[in-house]
Amino acid sequence: MTISKTILITGASRGIGLRTAKSLALRGHTVYAGMRNVDGRNKEAAAELLAFASEASGRILPIELDVTDEDACNAAAAKIEAETPIDVLINNAGIMPVGLTEAYTLEQAQDLFDVNVYGIMRMSRAVLGPMRSRKAGLIISLSSAAGRFGMPFFGLYCASKWAMEGYCESLHYELETLGIESILVEPSGHGTDLVTTAPAPADTARVQDYGDLAQGRDRLLGMFQGMFDQGDASTDASNVANRIADLVDMSAPRPIRTQVGHDMGVTAVNEAVLPIQDELIKGLKPVYMGEV
Enumerate the active-site residues.
13, 143, 157, 161
Reading across the β-sheet that carries 137-142, which strands appear in turn? 59-64, 30-35, 6-9, 88-91, 137-142, 180-187, 257-260
52-88 residues labelled b (16+ CB within 10 A) or e (exposed): ebeebebbbbbbbbbbeebebbbebbeebbeeeebbb
DSSP class of 65? -
Picking from 75, 165, 50, the residue whose alpha carbon sits closest to that of residue 127 is 75
DSSP letters for 68-122: T-HHHHHHHHHHHHHHS---EEEE-------S-GGGS-HHHHHHHHHHHTHHHHH
How many Å apart are CA 267 and CA 190, to the nearest integer? 17
Q: Which residues of 149-188 are buried (b: 16+ CB within 10 A; e: fewer)?
A: eebebbbbbbbbbbbbbebbbebbbebbeeebbbbbbbbb
Residue type, 48: E
- State the Cα–Cα distance between residues 64 and 72, nearest whole angstrom: 8
Torsions phi, psi for 23 (to 5 deg) = -60, -40
